[in-house]
Structure 1
Amino acid sequence: MVAILGLATAVPPYALDQGDVIERALRIYAPVVERFPNLADVFVNAGIERRYSVRPIEWFDAPHDWRDRNDAYLDGASALFEVAARDALDRAKLTARDVDVVVTVSSTGVATPSLEARLAGRLGFRSDVMRVPVFGLGCAGGVSGLSVGARLARAAPGEVVLVVVVELCTLAFRADRSDKADVISSALFGDGAAAVVLRAGDDAEDRATLRVGRTAEHIWPDTLDIMGWSIDPAGFGVVLSRSLPRFVEQKLAAPARKFASTIVGNGRYIFHPGGAKVLDAVQAALGLSNDAVADEREVLRRYGNMSAPTVLFVLERALRRGLDGPAVMAALGPGFTASFAALDAAGAGHA
């Protein structure tokens, strides 16, 4: 088992109330909503009251090209990375100089040098720190990033691995595109970051109340069109198939139950809340009660779908509410892929 010594989350300063988003979005998307009036219900039924953005809502009224969007990404992602990393290290009672490996997970912008290199001096990473930037995992990135970090920690007992997951989904809003996927994404996505400090070895085991065990992924063939990005001169364009909830309901159970069968005890799930309909599909696929996804729905309500970091917000909330014992952390993302990690929160609910 790999110990989680610190976990922290962060959101940017600008709150987007869903009512304000509805007003602006329906004005922008008026032609497509006139053709498909039921799309207006997406905002009301999304289960979201508020999201957060690295830019104020007025910023989205003007056109922005790829450079504008990526400059906003570099600025906003760097700020969130720093806050989440510092808080996670503080909770682990460590400093940036203690970090041996940094895993940076982000798919909503392009940074070369990558984010951890841009912040190395400000945070105080050592000059020999190992950098592992990861791109392209989308909503699965929180679980997959944690899995990568845990495997690196397990391979080098005693070393400190910092995993930082940051996504700025709002910057992909495109007023110049108006298909159904764009309308749906404008109703769901927000910005956020999370960081986790990991270490393996006897000393870490003694300190930890939360641990990561086995990890796994499952990729379905011929599913590249379910979720992802298209790219053009104005930036990223969302690819989001309307078949996603049905696909989840029909296909998730087999790999999820196979992985869960390897966990000792009757553990609960910690899911990435991709949206209200996706959570409904998860419940149907696995026969879960409403209480079993209460933390997921509350995070969705308060923050929207922040892509990769969202599942770590759910884990943080579950810990605060007394999570104890085994759990399966799970998320779905482009590929199309399911990512799983076994957690042992023995004693965490009482820490």
Structure 2
Amino acid sequence: MTKTAALVSVATSVPPHLFHQEQILQAARKLFADRYPQFETLSSLFANTGIHRRYGVKPIEWYIERRGWPERTQAFLEGAESLYVDVARKAIARADLSGSDIDVVVTVCSTGIATPTLEARVAGQLGLRADVSRVPVFGLGCAGGVSGLSIASKLAEARPGANVLLVSLELCTLAVRHDELTKANIVAASLFGDGAAAIVLRAGDGGATRVEASGEKLWPDTLDIMGWTVDPEGFGVVFQRTIPDFVRDHLGPAVAEILARMQLTVDDIDRFLCHPGGAKVIAALERALALEQGTLDHERDVIADCGNMSAPTVLFVLERAWAKGLPPRSLLTALGPGFTVSCVALRHAA
């Protein structure tokens, strides 16, 4: 019988620079208003996201200067390494372990490129063993927190007793673009922040919260919904369709389909834990999942406090729900480039 993976600890971390939403709006106005006539019309987005504050790896003045690939990459390496060490140390300590106890490291990140990868760069600071197994994962975008948890749980189940560390880290603010005078770029400026989450998993020795099952659905012909373009200046955000409308129309049946493969139904889920893309996406999630308006309270709190941090955001939601006490069965869901939905069912024993 398969020994299911249990969540031993959960931790989150944000970088040191705090930005209030009004402060970001004023910076965006300084960058775009004179060059992009539609900016003032789109500026209402900043007040409608549900975001009060966000965090970045650089002070706000850094983003006002135009940056290219070399500067963005250097900022990514410095910021990501520091944030990685902080969140991993928290998760390892909460699991009553040391870095040398970690057998497998899964690193999920889509907002920067590092070769050697991030876990190799910080291995010495974390005290990781020379024989630690490394699994870097790129390109999952906002779905990466849930998909990463699924990957990490399968690795834990394959090696019962092994300690698997998942780190999901994104520095979305480093993709701010001065040259792209588009609605998609303004939407990105109104939403995204930086953050990281880490989870330690282990299979075979109990644990109150276990990964019961996982599943994904990839919709055909949806490559243009979300992703990156790549050019000499850096990453450029792709938002070609209205994501809240897509969520409202397609998420419910997709989740039901994934649950059916788990031999579950929507009625078996006591709590949905969703990636909060923004206020409109949260409202669309509630409609799609037939939830009462206001049900996704942790999601609204996380987006208000930290903004959309891409992949780790749903794990911030999980941390808050974990602290409050999980119900018997929860379902983590996140949507991301592909276009895809990823789900992980958690079974909790009080």
User: Scaled by the length of structure 2, what TM-score is found?
Assistant: 0.95
* Shift of residue 26, structure 1, vs aligned partner: 1.9
Deviations 1:57-102 (A, max 9, x none): 0101111110100110001111111011110011111111111110
Q: Tell me by how many angstroms 1:112 deviates.
A: 0.2
Aligned residue runs from structure 1 range 277-292, under 5 A: 277-292=280-295
SS at match of 2:26: helix
CA distance, structure 2, for counterparts of residue 120 and residue 183 of structure 1: 37
Following superposition, the deviation at residue 136 of structure 1 comes to 0.2
Cα deviation, residue 31, structure 1: 4.8
Correspondence for 1:13? 16
2:214 maps to 215
Match of residue 3, structure 1, among 2, 6, 15: 6
CA drift of 1:36 comes to: 5.9
State how far apart, in whole Å, the 2-side matches of 1:277 and 1:327 are.
22
Q: Corresponding residue for 1:268?
A: 271
| Matching residue of 2:62 | 59
Equivalent in 90, 93, 97 of residue 94 of structure 1? 97
Instruction: Show the 5 A alignment for 1:9-48.
Output: 9-31=12-34, 34-35=37-38, 37-48=40-51
Residues 346, 31 of structure 1: alpha-carbon distance in 2 compared, 3 angstrom cutoff: farther
Match of 1:134 among 134, 137, 143: 137
- Residues of 2 paired with 1:142 and 1:266: CA distance? 19
Cα displacement (A) at 1:184 = 0.5
Structure 1 counterpart of 2:232, which letter? P
CA contact (8 A) 1:162 1:196 kept: yes
CA RMSD of aligned residues (A): 1.3
How far 1:279 sits from its partner (Å)?
1.2
Paired position in structure 2 for 1:237: 236
- Give the superposition deviation at 1:241: 2.4
Q: Quick one: distance in 1 between partners of 2:328 and 2:259? A: 14
Deviation of 1:260 after TM superposition, in Å, equals 3.6
What is the deviation of 1:37?
A: 4.2
> What secondary structure does 1:252 align onto?
helix
Counterpart in the other structure of 2:258: 259
Alignment match, 1:82: 85
Q: Determine the C-alpha separation between the residues in 2 that align with 1:118 and 1:35.
A: 43
**2:349 & 2:306 partners in 1: Cα distance?**
28
Task: Report what 1:340 is aligned to.
Answer: 343
Matched AA of 1:172? A
Aligned twin of 2:330 = 327
Paired with 2:124 and 2:256, the residues of 1 have a C-alpha distance of 44
Task: Tell me how many residue pairs correspond in the alignment.
Answer: 343
Distance 2:189 2:269 in 1: 37
Q: Report the CA distance shift for 1:263/1:95 in structure 2 as closer, same or farther (over 3 A).
A: farther
Q: In structure 2, what is the Cα distance between the partners aligned to 1:35 and 1:187?
A: 15
Q: 2:187 aligns with which of 184, 187, 207?
A: 184
Tell me which moved more, 241-250 or 44-53: 241-250
Counterpart AA for 1:280:
A
The offset of 1:242, in angstroms, is 3.6
Query: Structure 1 pair 9/169, CA: closer, same or farther in 2 (3 Å)?
Result: same
Instruction: Name the counterpart of 1:162.
Output: 165
| Separation of aligned partners in 2, 1:287 and 1:26 | 38
* Contact 1:268–1:292 under 8 Å retained in 2: no
1:175 is paired with a residue of what secondary structure? coil
Change (3 A) 1:36 1:82: closer
SS at match of 1:34: coil
In the superposition, the TM-score normalised over structure 1's length comes to 0.95
> Are 1:25 and 1:186, in contact at CA under 8 Å, matched by a contact in 2?
yes
Q: Aligned residue for 1:247?
A: 246
| AA matched with 2:341 | A
Q: Provide the rounded CA distance (Å) in 2 between the counterparts of 1:266 and 1:54.
A: 37
Distance in 1 of aligned mates of 2:38 and 2:67: 26
Query: What whole-Å deviation, never above 9, does each CA across 1:112-144 have from its counterpart, x for those lacking one?
Result: 000000111111111111000000000000000
In structure 1, list runs of 5 or more residues that go unmatched: none
Amino acid at match of 1:68: E
Q: Which structure 2 residue ranges, 5 or more long, are not aligned? A: none
Q: Of residues 297, 304, 307 in structure 2, which corresponds to 1:304?
A: 307
